[in-house]
Amino acid sequence: MASAPCLSGRPALMKHPGQGRGRTAMERLKHPPSLGTVLARADGPAKVTGAEKYAADHYGPGVLWAGVKRAGTPHARLKALDTGRAADLDGVEAVLTHAQVRGTNRQGVIRKDQPVLVDDKVRHCGDAVALVVARDRQVLAAALERIELELEPLEPVLDPTRALEPDAPLVHEDNPTGNLLLAGELVRGRGREALADCPLVVELDLELARQEHAYLETEAGWAILTPAGALEIVASTQTPFRDRAEVAEALGLKPELVRVIAPYLGGGFGGKDGITVQSLLGLAALACPGRPVKMWWSREESFLAGPKRHPARLHYRLGADRDGRLLALEADLAYDTGPYDHLGGVVMTLGLEHAGGPYHIEHTSLRARAVYTNNPVSGAFRGFGVPQAAAAMEQVMDLLARRLGREPLELRRRNLARPGRRVASGARPECSQGLDECLQRLAGHRFWRGRQAWKARAGPFKRRGVGVAAVMHGLGYGPVVPDVANAKIELTVRGGIRVYSGVADMGQGNASTCLQIAGQVLNQGLEDMELVLPDTERTLPSGSASASRTTFTYGQALIAAAGQLRRRILERAADLLFADSAGELSLLPGRVRHPASGRELPLARLAGLMQDSERVAVGRHRAPVSRERPTDDETLRLHGLPHAVFSFAAQLAAVELDELTGQVELKGFVTVCDCGRLLNRQLAEQQVQGAVAQGLGYALWEDLAVADGRVLTPDLSTYLLPTSLDVPEMDSLWVQTHEPSGPFGLKGVGEVGIDGPLPAVANAVADACGLGPRRFPLTPERVLAGLGRPGEPGGKP
Amino acid sequence: MSRVLLPRTLDELWELWRGHPDLALFAGGTDLLVRRRRGLLDPPVLLCLERVGELAVVEEHEAGLFLGALATLQELLEHPLVRDRLPVLTQALAVLGSPPIRHMGTLGGNLVTASPAGDTLPPLYALGAEVELRSAGGNRRLPVEEFILGPGRTALGPGEILAGVWIRPPDGPVRQHYEKVSLRKALAIAVVSLAAVIELNSLGRVGRARLAWGSLGPTVVRSPRAEEALLGGSLRPSELRAAAEIIREEASPIDDLRATAAYRREVAGNLLLRLARPGAG
Amino acid sequence: MKLHFTLNGRPVEVEVPSDRRVVDLLREELGLTGTKEGCGQGECGACTILVDGVSRLSCLMLAAQLEGRSLVTIEGLAAGGDLHPVQEAFVEEGAVQCGFCTPGMILAAVDLLGRDPRPGRGDIRQGLSGNLCRCSGYQKVVDAVERAAQGPLPEEKP
């Protein structure tokens, strides 16, 4: 039987287990990791044996189950709640409503507009209205059935255009800008006026779908109110420190009495960037003091209640001269943000900043809006507004290339903003820039060079195409919100090294990278290293696991902390070894050595001679911000515009269409990426491959369909993720620039790979059959509609 | 909470059934347990058939091949008799669900579920299969098209189970072809599918054509006129296009989440053109 | 209902309702949380286990079906502290990111290699097509199974 869960005294500790590993791996553990090589991830062994405990994996006698009664209607006033029949059920411990929420009952990062439990209005079908705590899941389900909601239906707002009409119902009556969460505009030169003078103008209208994160581990966690009155929460979350503040405020607690622990997540991708189960667990735990309470959203509930990628409508007009030089861009991006802020304004702002991509365009009118509706919540999702922008920009570039008869890679190279020049947002990136080399490498790839011959070999009823995309992706929070990490590192009493990670590891492997960095700075083998996963009581605030920033920012803080620890170790050792200075000493695995005398001091011995406070070092790093001011709009600046450091990628898709069915088969995909220096090639490949697969899903299969505010694809049988038979072999190539502001020259790689697949695939489809796709995902039906009947003169353009 | 019974023989099954007349049967559970999770049914007693080994056989008799209802889809996929004599069924099994689903699901289950999109159904129709139904009191046979009455509805009477399927494999030169159109390559419901069993005569022309479309109607769709259009021909594109026009006229599929009726109709015809490829099937 | 079956090589007796889902029985009554649940409807493969050597979805199995069977979960794969070749290959090839799909994916691979000791990459993709992964894009998972296949044949597990 599983042992009783216990939070205090059980750190989320990850060791490098010596047992159970193959011989080659064991050998590597003894030596300090050298940067740039392939190093197997440290969390591998526990995960492949099923030993790693995720937030959903804690059970035990006395654990209660908490569950949510959700609204089931997109827009309604809450008139009454009848919980009596539910509370009467045997095995029900508590039935809670907004009346039991002591704090503000409001959550959110920028605009706190989301209730823990609905008090005034229901704003989407997944809104949480009541919370039940019961002894097991059967009783929980029965109790939830018995709760009766008296709802007065209101006309729902279902479309972002309609939402902005003067007579549209309001999602938030108290919002001064009505259903507009945020709008922003960037104008350069003469803006859209300049289009009139362009010899060539191409135009594009796109509609992009809602995408579901669909992490394999749905939202989960557990919580307990300790006898000392502290609320301890273990949750699958990307933001443990921010959660603590939000939970405290929403529930009316002192933050120092709230502890949040983030074990390894079974995937996040932005869907767990913020409050999911945390406040609900806290509320349940407060109602059942001393009892552990657990919550684990079913897949259907995750579909209903979790945030999604913003669906968007984009309108682009791009003007150029006959030599292919871009002259003017007008772009309009409308993001349906759903009922709550949920970082929607920040998503919109990043999309706005990237609307014109990495190109130099003298005249731009870029406009974006994030609009409230009663559709499902839109929020953070890897890419964070940029996939939408890149979808449009990279397709309109190809439209232009076709009109001009110019080769698509060459057109892009011609118009890249070279280092020191402004990109379309009007700001100059302040970082290493390898995109031109990425494009050159892509041009040399066999898929590109051999594409005509490959296309000509298409079999009966097949058409082949190759398409490309060039993208950039800004790292971090922008110029105003501090992008800070605090690292803590310790020489343990046994002479090992313990790293206290402040940023959640949702699978991207930053935990492993931490150990690799610490091992590098301290010259220690991974065998004697441990990592403590984020815990508001033991590790230090380091911001969210998002924005491609975790290694970029935390890594620098860790280098600082590890450097400080190294100095302390050597200075103390110098005293003990009677060396003249620390400079005479070498720090080696497990010991300090004085080469001149041959004397050595084992780290275990040194640690034994140090006090606790001497063995710990702390480092802080704040990521650099842009000095550019493409806009004076302070709200836009707050929301992140502009960024300073960017990663870049050039991507290529090879597709084969079937003329009889419209099915699109991916025959290959290539990414050439500049994310600075690679600390660990395997990890960087993991990130790019995973991002590409999600981008391909966004292009071809994934559509969280909604009608009348209701989800039509409520589970994994109707919402289609690509399987191992759908995702092609992917080539990952690297252009390693050196980014001075990043740890050992690294830039973030988490998101850039997801920005290009949709336009690359769309461009490949257009290359195959002339069809310019406008609605995504590109289902077989949409492709076939454009192809027309096989053997008969062509279909619609 | 439901009680789960697990008989090992048909005799045990009949006895348990007498004791619990309102029980719900399942074999692999890949359909019933999913529907139960959705709240579509909540039977107090469930009976799992997976241990009734006598119905898991695959045998060759004078009258043809007998595929036991409880043979798993994986067992059928690997079985030499099925691969050699009924390749149209093998092709369908290979794209049904996923490996673990195939390890659990059964032919009987696919038939009794009677989904308009059931992957084994068009091949069984195209092969002219008959189902054998058994009860404590005896057994009977029905052509598969008389067994499946509508989505989720079969001709099973009270106290009857599907025991297996009888198929007389075509002899002589024959093309057996299956194509499933779906939105992804595994774990996918057919959007439209075609099973074709085309027997060639001594001149190498079409002597007999049986075409069966899935996901084109509430049950598998046949088209005697389309089949007739191919008779005596050699599956040239022009002949196939003529047959394609016929099925497009006749079919009345539905719009649903996965595709529109228009798409299904168009593709149902297009799939015939694949028969022109040498070596298809 | 009293059930008797073999689990990871050892006999087990439990008393549970006969309709308890096997995934819940493993995770709750038996404390083996290595088997995960991702969807509860057979669409993701995270709950994959081996039953008499064959991969099955434990979210679509009821406890009664276990009687007399021999089960292997992810916890039972490594013999005496050494990782199974497939586990080792997953670690070395970087096939593990968030790790939530990993137990099911590994058992699906063990099933595949039991049927086909030297599969090509296409066969591997086919063999894993019932296991969704959201992190990896499958490439390194295929690399890992290919690597495991090239090593010595995996031993028979009880």
Q: What is the widest separation between alpha-carbon atoms in chain B?
A: 63
Nearest by CB to residue A45, choosing from C91, C103, C128, is C91
A693 pLDDT above the threshold of 60:
yes
Q: Buried b vs exposed e over A632-657: b needs ≥16 C-beta within 10 Å?
A: ebeebbbbbbbbbbbbbbbbbbbbbb
- Residue pair C113/C119 in contact by the 8 Å Cβ criterion: yes
Q: What are phi and psi of B206, to 5 degrees?
A: -70, 115
Together in a domain, C84 and C145: yes
Token pair in block for residue A56 = 């959903």
- Tell me what the pLDDT averaged over chain B comes to: 96
Together in a domain, C45 and C111: no
CA atoms of A301 and A711, how far apart (whole Å) = 11
Question: pTM for the complete prediction?
Answer: 0.96
What lies within 8 Å, CB to CB, of C71 at 6+ separation is C5, C6, C7, C8, C49, C50, C51
Partners of A617 in the beta sheet?
A489
CA distance A216 to chain C (A): 5
Q: What 3-state class would DSSP assign to A283? A: helix
Residue C157 counted as domain residue: no
Q: Do the domains at A308-478+628-788 and A484-622 have one common CATH topology?
A: yes
Is the backbone of residue A129 left (phi > 0), alpha (psi -120 to 50) or beta? alpha
Provide, as residue numbers in chain C, all residues whose Cβ is less than 8 Å from the Cβ of A47: 96, 99, 102
Closest residue in C to A715 (Cα) is C39
A3 pLDDT above the threshold of 70:
no
Mutate to test the interface with A, among B213, B240, B266, B277 (most CBs of A within 10 A): B266
Q: What is the pLDDT of residue A31?
A: 65
Q: What is the pLDDT of residue A38?
A: 73
Residue C67 counted as domain residue: yes
pLDDT one-digit tens code per residue, B134-193 = 999 999 999 999 999 999 999 999 999 999 999 999 989 999 999 999 999 999 999 999
B48 pLDDT above the threshold of 70:
yes
Q: What are phi and psi of C96, to 5 degrees?
A: -115, 120
Q: How much is the average pLDDT of A481-509?
A: 96
Please give the single-letter amino acid code of residue B178: Y
Token pair in block for residue A134 = 């019961």
From A302, A311, A263, A360, select the one nearest A53 (Cα to Cα): A263
From C19, A71, C55, A605, select the one nearest B100 (Cα to Cα): C55
Token pair in block for residue A231 = 């609320």
Q: Does A419 contact C at CB distance below 8 Å?
A: no
B125 pLDDT above the threshold of 70:
yes
Nearest by CB to residue C42, choosing from B2, B4, B30, is B30
CA atoms of A280 and A717, how far apart (whole Å) = 28
pLDDT one-digit tens code per residue, C8-34 = 999 999 999 999 999 999 999 999 999
Q: What is the pLDDT of residue A4?
A: 28
- Tell me what the pLDDT averaged over chain A comes to: 94
From A510, A614, A624, select the one nearest A568 (Cα to Cα): A614
Q: Is residue C67 classed exposed, middle or buried when 0-12, 13-18 and 19+ CB atoms within 10 A define those classes?
A: middle
- Name the fold adopted by A62-154+219-296: Aldehyde Oxidoreductase; domain 3 (3.90.1170)
pLDDT one-digit tens code per residue, A127-180 = 999 999 999 999 999 999 999 999 999 999 999 999 999 999 999 999 999 999
CA atoms of B82 and B84, how far apart (whole Å) = 6
What CATH number did the domain enclosing C139 receive? 1.10.150.120
Residue C63 counted as domain residue: yes
Residue C155 counted as domain residue: no
Q: How much is the average pLDDT of A607-621?
A: 96
- Residue pair A533/A511 in contact by the 8 Å Cβ criterion: yes
Residue A274 CA to chain centroid, in angstroms?
Answer: 11
Q: What is the pLDDT of residue A61?
A: 85
- Residue pair B25/B2 in contact by the 8 Å Cβ criterion: no
Nearest by CB to residue A50, choosing from C74, C129, C136, is C74
Residue C145 counted as domain residue: yes
| B50 to C40: CB separation less than 8 angstroms, yes or no | no
Mutate to test the interface with B, among C47, C57, C124 (most CBs of B within 10 A): C57
* Alpha helix (H) residue ranges in A405-550: 408-415, 435-443, 446-449, 451-456, 510-522
From A38, A13, A14, A36, select the one nearest A25 (Cα to Cα): A38
DSSP sequence for C89-115: HHHHHT--SS-SSHHHHHHHHHHHHHH
CA distance C55 to chain B (A): 6
Taking any CB pair shorter than 8 Å as contact, residues of chain A touching chain B are 138, 460-461, 659-663, 701, 705, 712-713, 717-718, 720, 722-726, 779-781, 784, 789-791
CA atoms of A550 and A253, how far apart (whole Å) = 29
Q: Is residue A605 classed exposed, middle or buried when 0-12, 13-18 and 19+ CB atoms within 10 A define those classes?
A: middle
CA atoms of A249 and A301, how far apart (whole Å) = 25
Q: By residue range, what is the domain housing residue C94?
A: 79-150
Q: What is the pLDDT of residue A791?
A: 63
pLDDT one-digit tens code per residue, A634-646 = 999 999 999 999 9
Together in a domain, C65 and C86: no
Q: What is the pLDDT of residue A9?
A: 26
CA atoms of A576 and A574, how far apart (whole Å) = 5
Q: How much is the average pLDDT of A1-19?
A: 32
Q: What is the pLDDT of residue A19?
A: 35
B2 pLDDT above the threshold of 70:
yes
Q: What is the pLDDT of residue A260?
A: 98
For tokens 């959007």, name the residue. B191
Q: Report the percentage of chain A scoring pLDDT > 90.
A: 91
pLDDT one-digit tens code per residue, C43-60 = 999 999 999 999 999 999
Closest residue in B to C61 (Cα) is B29
From C58, C71, C53, C150, select the one nearest C104 (Cα to Cα): C58
What CATH number did the domain enclosing C38 receive? 3.10.20.30
* Sign of the dihedral through C-alpha B59, B65, B70, B71: positive
Q: How much is the average pLDDT of C70-75?
A: 98
pLDDT one-digit tens code per residue, A496-544 = 999 999 999 999 999 889 999 999 999 999 888 999 999 999 999 999 9
Q: What is the pLDDT of residue B74?
A: 98
* ipTM, 2 dp: 0.97
Nearest by CB to residue B1, choosing from C17, C56, C131, is C17
Q: Does C98 contact B at CB distance below 8 Å?
A: no
Of C30, C46, C76, the one marking the end of a domain is C76
- Name the fold adopted by A484-622: Aldehyde Oxidoreductase; domain 4 (3.30.365)
Other C-beta atoms lying within 10 Å of the C-beta of residue B276: 17
Partners of A653 in the beta sheet?
A467, A669
Closest residue in A to C37 (Cα) is A217
Provide, as residue numbers in chain C, all residues whose Cβ is less than 8 Å from the Cβ of A41: 91, 94, 96
Q: What are phi and psi of A678, to 5 degrees?
A: -90, 120
| A50 to C35: CB separation less than 8 angstroms, yes or no | yes
Together in a domain, C66 and C87: no
In this structure, what DSSP letter does residue B106 have?
B
* Alpha helix (H) residue ranges in A653-772: 681-700, 757-769
- Residue pair A478/A624 in contact by the 8 Å Cβ criterion: no
Together in a domain, C10 and C53: yes
A22 pLDDT above the threshold of 50:
no
Closest residue in C to B50 (Cα) is C65
Q: How many domains does chain C have?
A: 2
A36 pLDDT above the threshold of 50:
yes
Nearest by CB to residue B184, choosing from A461, A712, A722, is A722
Return the number of CB contacts < 8 Å for B and C. 80
What lies within 8 Å, CB to CB, of A6 at 6+ separation is none
CA distance B268 to chain A (A): 9
Together in a domain, C56 and C89: no
Q: What is the pLDDT of residue A23?
A: 42
Q: What is the pLDDT of residue A21?
A: 41
What lies within 8 Å, CB to CB, of B211 at 6+ separation is B126, B194, B195, B196, B222, B223, B226, B227, B243, B247, B272
Q: What is the pLDDT of residue A786?
A: 87
What lies within 8 Å, CB to CB, of A616 at 6+ separation is A488, A489, A490, A491, A565
pLDDT one-digit tens code per residue, C95-125 = 999 999 999 999 999 999 999 999 999 999 9
Q: What is the pLDDT of residue B255?
A: 97
What lies within 8 Å, CB to CB, of A685 at 6+ separation is A732, C94, C140
Q: What 3-state class would DSSP assign to A402? A: helix
Domains in chain A: boundaries: 62-154+219-296, 308-478+628-788, 484-622
Q: What is the pLDDT of residue A33?
A: 66
Together in a domain, C72 and C92: no
Residue C17 counted as domain residue: yes
Other C-beta atoms lying within 10 Å of the C-beta of residue A593: 17
Q: How much is the average pLDDT of B90-112?
A: 98
Nearest by CB to residue B29, choosing from C61, C67, C127, is C61
Residue C158 counted as domain residue: no
Q: What are phi and psi of A82, to 5 degrees?
A: -110, 110
Q: How much is the average pLDDT of A458-485?
A: 97
A28 pLDDT above the threshold of 90:
no
Q: Which of A12-26, A320-334, A767-781, B255-269 has the lowest mean pLDDT?
A: A12-26
Closest residue in C to B98 (Cα) is C130
CA atoms of A405 and A324, how far apart (whole Å) = 10
Of C76, C97, C129, the one marking the end of a domain is C76
Domain spanning A308-478+628-788: which CATH class is it, in words? alpha beta
What lies within 8 Å, CB to CB, of A397 at 6+ separation is A318, A357, A359, A408, A411, A412, A470
